[in-house]
Structure 1
Amino acid sequence: MDEAFSFLQVGWLNAIREWQEEFVGNMSSREFVDTITRDLLCSRIFVFTPRGERGYCY
Structure 2
Amino acid sequence: METSMSVEEVMNQISKLMQKEGQQLRKKQVKKSNPELMKNALYYFPSWETAIEQSVGS
Q: What TM-score comes out, normalization by structure 2 length?
A: 0.33
Higher fraction of strand: 1
Higher relative contact order (CA 8 A, sep 6+): 2
